A and B are shown apart, each in its own frame.
Chain A
Amino acid sequence: MTTTALPPEVNAATQATIKRSPPRPPSGVRREWQRFHIGAILSYAMLILFAIIYIYPFLVAVSSSFKTDGDATNNPLSLIPQTWTVAAYQQLFSGSPLPLWALNTAFITIIVTTARVFLDSLAGYALSRLKFRGRTVVFSALIAVMAVPNVVLLIPRFLILKQFGLYDSYAGMIIPLIVDAGGIFIMKQFFESIPVSVEEAARIDGAGIFRTFWTIVLPMARPALVTLFILSFQGSWNEFGAFVVSRQNPDLNTLTTGIASLFSGQLGSGNQFPLKLAAAILMTIPVATIFFIFQRKIMNTTEGGEKG
């Protein structure tokens, strides 16, 4: 199935290699060419095999969500449903609390992302640019906090929410997430990398500290803000542990906790694979969209000096 698609690509690739290699006696070129040819075919075959392993689960999940229960159970590998049906989606939208979960997740994600981008950059700016007593202490404390593993915080977080009466409320689910030490760290690093002269000019012209930050510095920090936006969006959309311990009211279920209860069999009976897969697909669409919009950016954070 895949090998038929190979030759044109491989030829192009090997030809590109040939063009680069210095001129050699004819026989040598031939042997080189053959070596490249076999090597290239092998490595492309391997890359494609891995790509299939990484992508197939998602493809088969999408197609199975359009199958009937029996079809999904009996033909788990096939990418084409025997009979197409949107029953799973219908059931999710009309006969399940999924729309409510989606609303909760969207609501929480929007607030958390907005707040994080704003508050993290405020703190990051102060820690990188503003001179104040105790700055080093604050920064060291931040680093220490970053070292605390999230999973250790599950019980403590529940305890404090109970203590303050915030358990089972939107506030209790949102407020602990609106600042994250990692985001502050990213912003601080970024602000340190941009020249200070523009800000100083603004300040000499009489702009206040907040105004300088808001109108001069923040627009310059766009790349870092985009990074922070992506991370915060993904983080809060996919957050699970924090919502497990901050609520038990089913009306406050997010997509993650709701769909997890669907998977661990707390709802319905039978395997209901199309329904579960449809839910998994639906909750993946927004993060996947963000990923594909900012794909270049996400992959580019790794591009060093050498390109192409």
Chain B
Amino acid sequence: MSTSTLPRPAKDSPRNRNRGGGIRSGEGRFGWLFTAPAIVIIGVFLVLPIFLALWVSVSDWGGLGSPINSQVGFVGAKNFAHVLTSGGLAEKDFGTSIRNNLWFVVFVVPLQTALALFLAVQVNRRVLRGRSFFRTAYYFPSVTSAVAITGIFAFLFASSGAVNSVIAALGGKGPTWFADPRGLFHIIAGLFGVGDNPPGLSTPAFLELSWWDWLAGPSVAMCVIIILVIFTTSGTFMLLFLAALQNIGVEVEEASLIDGAGPFRKFFSVTLPMLRPTLFTVLTLGLIGTWQIFDQIYILGQGKPAKTTLTPAFLAYQTSFKDLNWGDGAAISFVLFAIIVTLTLLQRLVLRDRDKERLDRPMSRLLANEKTAAEKSRSIR
């Protein structure tokens, strides 16, 4: 991302000739002056806090007074150990939150990506009446606040709510969405007559959860949050795909049509490969975003029912602000940070390998467009 690796734009050359005098004088002073507010705010309210929290995560600070005083002791990795290997409730809660978030990611990321791509292809057609209406309709949920839309979903998925009315009209019986802790795969296994904790799967596997627990899938309550998040993010990602689709241009499409490709063949052999950079961007953003789910959890049940909507982000908040166990909360935050950074780096590694083969000029331009779009979507959320 840094500019240093890119070739310098031509407009920089006269600047070099003028260095040190004339109209360039005072730039050093003003450069620092202009960036000072940003540096101070980001330094004091972003960088400094991270170090303070890092200290809290390795200290025995109990929440009283300042964490920087002589009575607060250094305890090394004790808080991390408590969360990760204590064998007690703290470890089990953390394991549960990771399990929940893992299933959340597994469902949300592919579905939101596929839906966004599908919608983008649909609204990108050249002959389409009401095209801007459809685009607006699909994008609108992305604009609203998580709080408002979560409240609306609480109404829609109430036990006698709109969704269950539709299910009833179709002849089924909807669940009590927010009170149902059963895992999706447990329900499916139950249909085949598999009881709870079948032998062989009931042994503890990892982080105090048995294999059976790990394989539960998202709970019914978590499914509502999955649907909610797909509903609000697919519009944003649709716009990213749309931008990329419009960069492909008519010629490529026409060429493939002349070569005799049908619509499906055209999509999978021509369009999709050209969208690969965007696809990776959307997957990366999705992966980062889904590990950060907090607002919706806070509003819908705060981990209930039976901790099946607990996520690491919310657990960190709860451990610190409700249980006043600041060291553990900060430790969970940093483990979550590590998870997100690792996944991002992993993705970038994959992305870079794939891109090397095909980084011709139009593609790099497209990537540049995307970065701004990506930023945009990040700040929207």
Contact = CB atoms under 8 A, between A and B. Distances in A.
B181 interface: no
B26 to A, nearest CB: 6
A240 B295 contact: yes
Nearest to A60: B162
Given A17-B127, A126-B34, A299 B144 contact: no
A209 B26 contact: yes
Given A74-B160, A280-B152, 19 more contacts: A16-B127, A44-B129, A50-B138, A57-B153, A58-B141, A60-B162, A131-B28, A140-B2, A151-B292, A152-B333, A159-B53, A160-B48, A196-B11, A210-B30, A259-B148, A264-B301, A277-B152, A301-B239, A304-B247
A180 interface: yes
Contacts of A238: 144-147
Interface residues of B, number: 121
Interface in A146-167: 146-160, 162-163
A299 B135 contact: yes
Given A54-B231, A147-B341, A280-B148, A301 B49 contact: no
Interface in B321-345: 321, 326, 329-330, 333-334, 336-337, 340-341, 344
Max chain A CB contacts within 10 Å: which of B123, B128, B291, B344? B128
B162 A276 contact: no
B165 interface: yes
A178 interface: yes
A154 B316 contact: yes
Interface string A34-73: 0000000001101100110011011011001000000011
Q: Interface majority SS on B: helix, strand, loop or mixed? A: helix
Contacts of A142: 38, 42
Contact of A57 (B156, B330, B369): B156
Given A159-B53, A163-B68, A287-B143, A126 B30 contact: yes
A30 interface: no
B41 A175 contact: yes
A224 to B, nearest CB: 10
Contacts of A139: 2-3
11 contacts: A20-B127, A57-B156, A76-B165, A119-B38, A126-B35, A127-B35, A135-B31, A159-B49, A162-B66, A264-B301, A281-B148
Interface string A228-270: 0001101101101100110000000001100110111000000
Contacts of B134: 47, 50-51
B152 to A, nearest CB: 5
A241 B147 CA distance: 11
B379 A182 contact: yes
